[in-house]
Chain A
Amino acid sequence: MILQHTADGILSGAIIGLGAIGLSFTMKILRFANFSHSELLTWGAYFGLIFISVATAMGGFGGTFGPLSFGWPLILALVFAAVATSLLALLLHHLIFERLAKVTGHMTMVFASFGVALLLRNAVLLIFGADPIYYSNTLQFAVKLPGNVRVLPDQVFLLGLTIVVVIALHLFLTRSRTGIAMRATAESPDLARVSGVNVNNVVRWVWVIGASGAAVAGVLYGLTVQLRPELGFALILPLFAAAILGGAGSLYGAVLGGLIVGLSENLSVMIIPTTYKPAVPFLLILAILYFRPQGLFGEKS
C-alpha cells in the first residue's frame, strides 16, 4: 500500500513541480506572488484540447504510441499549448503587470494577480463550459510493477517528460547566456543592468518559461484526470507550497518541492481522512516558513 501511495505521490509531485517552476521564477525575478499562475495550467490544458480537437476533426494523424492513450496529436498539442500559453502570459505581462510594476508596489501586483486569476478562470468557463472533458476516451490498463504497484503508461510518460524538461531547463540556465543572465537578474537586477543585461528581455523569458512549464503541466494533468475550468485553481496551494518549499528562484527546489508536496499529500491519506488531504500543502507552507523561510534551496537575504 505504501509503495502505491509513494508512486502516486511521485507522479502527482512531478506535475506540481513542473507547474511550480514558473511560479518560483516569478517570485524571485518579478518579485511578486502571482496567484494567476495556476490559471495558466488551466489555459495550457484547454489550448491542448483545442489542438487535439482540431487534429481529430482533420482526421488525426497516426494511432496511439504502444500502451499509451495518445499519439502525435498530444505531443504536438504540448508544443502548441506551450506557445499559446506563453503568448497569453506575455499579453498579461504587457497589459497589466508591466504597467503596474512601473507605478506601484509588489502588494498591488499580488492583488492584481487575484483579479487576473478570476478573469482567466471565468473566461475558460465562458468559452468551454463547466462540463468535464477528456483528451481521449481510450481505455488504459495499469501496468503492474514490483511491489504490487500499479501505474498507467501515461503516468510513466509524464514522469519521463518531467525529467526531460528539468534537464533542458538546467542546461538553459547554466549554459546559455540568457539563462545565466536570468540567474544574475534574480540575484541583483541593478547589477545585471549595469553589466549590460536587458532586464526587460529577461522578464519576458521568465514569463515564457513559466507559462510553458505551466502549459505542459496542465496538459499532463489533463491527461491523467479530466479537464475542468477549476483544474489550475485546485492546484494553487500545492504549487505555492512547492515553490516556497524549494526556495524562490530555484529550478531544483521547485521540482523537489513538488515531489515533497505530492508524496506528503498521497502518503497522508494513510494516517488522516482523505478529506483533509488538501490541508497538507498548507501545513508544509507553515512548517517551511517557520523553520527555513528561504526554502530548501533558497539563499538567505
Chain B
Amino acid sequence: MTRRLTASGIVAGYRPDLPILHGVSVHVDAGEVMTIIGPNGAGKSTLIKAIAGLVTVSAGTVEIDGEDRTGTPAHLLAGAGVAYVPQTGNVFTTLTIRENLIVGGAALAKAEALARIDEIFTQYPMLAAKRAEKARVLSGGERQILAIARALLTSPRIILLDEPTAGLSPMAAAELFDLVRGLVADGAAVLMVEQNAKAALKMSDRAYVLAEGENRIDGVASDLLENDEIGRIFLGARPEDVA
C-alpha cells in the first residue's frame, strides 16, 4: 500500500513559545480514511492545519509521497496534491459557486481548471444549478459539498477534512461520509478530524486518538470502537456515548 502522508514528531502551535502539539506522529496510506479523534483541546485541528501549511511546524517532518514538505507554503502544497477543507468558513460566501471553484483551481492551468469545473458540475448537479448564485445562499450541507468539490478540483492525493459533519443533520452527515468513502475508492488518502467519534470510527479504516497534544492510541477503527481506553479519554464515556 502506498504511503501518502507521514507526519513525524510534529511540534506546532500558534505561538512558537506555546506549542499545542508535542511530537505527534500520524500516517495515511492511499485508499484509506484515517480519522483523528480526541477531546476538545487535544490539538486535532492544529495538527491538520500544520500538515496543510497554515500553522508553523517548529519540529518534526511532514512527508508527502515520500518527499519532505515540512514548511512548504500552503498554496504550493495545494499544487502538490494536498487539499484541505476547514471546519468553518470553508467556502467564500461573497463569491458565486462558480467563482469558488475557479479559486479552487488556482494551482492549475486555466484551461485545465475550467475543464475540471465542468466535470465537477456534471458530478454535482446541485452546484451546476446554482453556479451563478453567491455561496452564502447555500445550506450547511450544500456548503460542505461545495467545499469538498472546491478541494477536489486539483484531483488531490491527500484530502484533509476538519470536522466535515459539524452542524449537519444526521442525514446530511451520512451523505457526506458516503461522499468521503467515494473519494478513497478513487485512490486518494483522507485524513479526517471528527468530534462525532462513533460515526467517524464506523466509516474509517484506521484512527488515532490524541489528547493534550500527544498520541494516545491508534489502530484499526473497528477495534477502537470497542476500546474502553477511548471512553476514558472522552471524559469517562464510551465512544458510542460520545457521538
Contacts and interface: CB of A to CB of B under 8 A. Distances in A.
Contact of A195 (B78, B89, B94, B110): B78
Interface in A182-233: 183-184, 186-188, 190-199
Contacts of B106: 177, 181, 192, 195-198
A200 to B, nearest CB: 9
A2 interface: no
Interface stretch (B3-11, B95-103, B168-176, B187-195): B95-103
B95 A187 contact: yes
Interface residues of A, number: 19
Given A184-B95, A187-B95, A190-B54, A196 B89 contact: no
Nearest to B136: A299
A143 interface: no
A180 B74 contact: no
A193 B54 contact: yes
A177 B113 CA distance: 11
A193 B110 CA distance: 18
A196 B94 contact: no
B54 A196 contact: no
A195 B52 CA distance: 10
A195 B95 contact: no
Interface in B100-130: 100, 102-108, 110, 113
Contact of B75 (A177, A180, A196, A299): A196
B39 interface: no
Contacts of A196: 75, 78-79, 103-108, 154
Interface of B: 52-54, 73-75, 77-79, 83-84, 86, 89-95, 99-100, 102-108, 110, 113, 150, 154
26 contacts: A177-B102, A177-B113, A180-B99, A180-B102, A181-B103, A181-B106, A183-B92, A184-B99, A184-B100, A187-B93, A187-B94, A191-B89, A192-B106, A193-B53, A193-B54, A193-B75, A194-B77, A194-B83, A194-B86, A195-B75, A195-B103, A195-B107, A196-B104, A196-B107, A197-B75, A197-B103
